[in-house]
Chains A and B, each alone.
Chain A
Amino acid sequence: MQGFQDMATIMGNLNALAGGLFIIAAVGIVATRQVGACLKFFIFQSIFLAASAFLLGARPFSTHLMAVGVINLVTKVMFLPWLLRHLLKEEVYARREITQVVSIPTSLIIALGLTIGAYFFSLPWLKAAAVTGAPRINVPVGLAGLLLGAYTLTNRREAVPQLLGLLAMENGAFFAGVAIAPDLPLIAELALAFDLLILIFVVGVLTRAVHERVGTTAVGALAKLREEGHK
């Protein structure tokens, strides 16, 4: 019985650790210059999300959460990077983005403020609802992931990091979701995963077209509309 208790505590702690690393990966997406490194941070973030789903689903055993973890691993860790790599040229990933809207140390401080804000706003609500256990850990982390993803969208100018910011927001929502609604129908998860791939496909093709026409993927710099044939 004692061993059982210990194991449960260790798994709770590991889930919290996955949460902490999840936030750090989100901060990494905000703050890294190189587009390729940004993509790696997103992959790490998805791995931590899957880890949290597996840890929560292991005891008591839940097929739904395990399936969520597997869907995450397959779509976000394996298929998505493969798709992005094939849609866009290698040159896009090697590019360093030096014209972020806010400088990196400042945006790290802002990211920190957003994280603290996520804890600050979600915890009173969780305490009022007398929630204990996993949601206490996952909801603030998920909210922080959501806010950091939104910040990435506003701060980055390259197309791929912007897309990753959007996906990081989705990851954050999922991170909170696996704890709050562990019994979400599997069909919803599958539909979402499929939607995600369509989204990446569309954005990827669009970025590719932009890259071919304008010669850059810094979509933040595109301010004017151009008409066809007006070269």
Chain B
Amino acid sequence: MSKRILFNVLQVLVVMGFSPLAMGVLNRFKEIVQSKQGPSIFQPYRDLWKLFSKDEVVPEESSWIFRVTPYIVFVAPIFVTLLIPVLTDYPLFWAFMADMVGAGFVLALGGFFAALAAVDTANPYGPMGASRTRMVGFLAEPIFLIVFFTVSFVADSTIPFIVQQKWVTPISNFFEPSHILLLIAFVMLILAEKGRIPVDNPSGHFELAMIEESKDLEYSGKGAALMKWGGWMKFFVLMIVFLNVLLTPWGLASTLSWEAVLLAIPLVLIKILLFIVFLVFIESSLAKLRLFRISEFMSAAFVIAVIAMLTSAFTQ
């Protein structure tokens, strides 16, 4: 029992420790594709160190929401990490605390507070970005729900640790149409939810065009560090859900021993590296959509998710 608790805590440490690295690698790869040299892959760690050792400025007019938000944004992905299989393919201590819908809710809570905090300071760009994020968010919500419903319908469960087993036992389940179509819809969701190209340009510095980035414009010092780190962890968690629960549930520890769990860490990192290469390919080959075309992108994802549901619900 104590091991299950320790492994669960280890999962959180892995997500906290490696999420800046994943971001650094992603940024570096993108720069290389654009024929630039790019910053070191450890740059996000340096950014965090710099921000943590700087003073924080809080606008006088802002309320408690502005001060609380960095902590909520930082803690929400950590809670989700407790619920999902990062390193092991058997349920850990806190695995049954909530299911996938609960995890989605916790992640959405972080986004909700970030949007509120952006409105709170009355900076002209914050509310604009916040309302755009909400627009993308409410278009993403039905897709999330349909994906979860389909998964739970096929696997008879909404606990990620149990769902993960379903796709590979027997192996023919992997080729189920609902599975493959869900994967496509989920990739589109990750792109929308984390503000990547084609929905948003994460490296843009033009406030009028920002969607995701404009929410933490007002933060400085420790608040900014927590917001950034929370955002990276959310991205990492979404990738883990996609890879470990939906796409490739292999390479995870299957016994309750330290060796197996520690060996799982490099394997999971390799999977994430491959996924990052795929993301770089998408981001480098597409252009950012105009704001009102985002609804078309999202409705395409919605159509794919519903067709996944149809093919799973009716062919059985």
- Given the contacts A17-B176, A105-B295, A123 and B314 also touching, CB distance less than 8 Å: yes
Binary interface encoding of chain B residues 146-188 relative to chain A, with 1 for a CB under 8 A from any of its CBs, else 0 = 0000000000000000000000001111011110110000000
Within 8 A of A (CB), among B258-313: 295-296, 299-300, 302-304, 306-308, 310-311
- B299 touching A105, Cβ below 8 Å: yes
Please measure, in the bound complex, the distance between the C-alpha atom of A137 and the C-alpha atom of B310, giving whole angstroms: 11
Beta-carbon contact of A119 and B310 below 8 Å:
yes
Q: Check if A51 is an interface residue, CB within 8 A of chain B.
A: no
Q: B315 at the A/B interface (Cβ < 8 Å)?
A: yes
A19 interface hit (Cβ, 8 Å):
yes
Query: Is A104 on the interface with B (CB-CB < 8 A)?
Result: yes
Interchain CB contact (< 8 A) of B314 among A111, A112, A119: A119
Contact assessment for A108 and B175 in the assembled complex, using a CB-CB cutoff below 8 Å = no
Q: Is the CB of B172 within 8 A of A20?
A: no
Q: Which residues of B contact A17 (CB under 8 A)?
A: 175-177, 180-181
Q: How far is the CB of A138 from chain B (nearest CB, A)?
A: 10
User: Digit string of B171-215 for contact with A (CB within 8 Å is 1, else 0)?
Assistant: 111011110110000000000000000000000000000000000
A9 to chain B, nearest CB (A): 4
Chain B contributes a number of interface residues (CB within 8 A of A) equal to 24
Docked-complex contact B304 and A24, CB < 8 angstroms: yes
Contact of A24 among B175, B176, B295, B307 (CB under 8 A): B307
Question: Which A103-162 residues have C-beta < 8 A from chain B?
Answer: 104-105, 108-109, 111-112, 115-116, 119, 123, 136-137, 140
Q: How far is the CA of A10 from the CA of B306 in the complex (A)?
A: 22
The answer to whether B310 touches A116, judged by C-beta atoms less than 8 angstroms apart, is yes
A67 interfacial contact with B, CB 8 Å: no
- CB within 8 A of A16: which of B176, B295, B296, B304? B176
The residue in chain B whose Cβ has the minimal distance to the Cβ of A10 is B172
Asked if A20 contacts B308 (CB within 8 A), the reply is yes
Contact with B along A1-22 (1 / 0, CB 8 A): 0000010011001101101110
B: residues with CB less than 8 A from A are 170-173, 175-178, 180-181, 295-296, 299-300, 302-304, 306-308, 310-311, 314-315
- Contacts A6-B170, A14-B175 aside, 20 further interface pairs with beta carbons under 8 A come to A9-B170, A10-B171, A16-B311, A17-B176, A17-B181, A20-B307, A20-B308, A20-B311, A21-B177, A23-B307, A27-B300, A31-B296, A104-B296, A105-B295, A108-B299, A108-B302, A108-B303, A116-B306, A116-B310, A123-B314
A residues touching B (Cβ–Cβ < 8 Å)?
6, 9-10, 13-14, 16-17, 19-21, 23-24, 27, 31, 104-105, 108-109, 111-112, 115-116, 119, 123, 136-137, 140
Some 20 contacts from A to B, beta carbons below 8 A apart, are A6-B171, A13-B176, A13-B177, A16-B311, A16-B315, A17-B176, A20-B177, A20-B178, A20-B180, A20-B308, A24-B181, A24-B304, A27-B303, A105-B295, A105-B299, A112-B303, A115-B306, A116-B306, A119-B310, A123-B314
The 7 closest A-B pairs by CB, nearest first: A20-B177, A13-B175, A9-B172, A17-B177, A16-B177, A108-B299, A10-B172
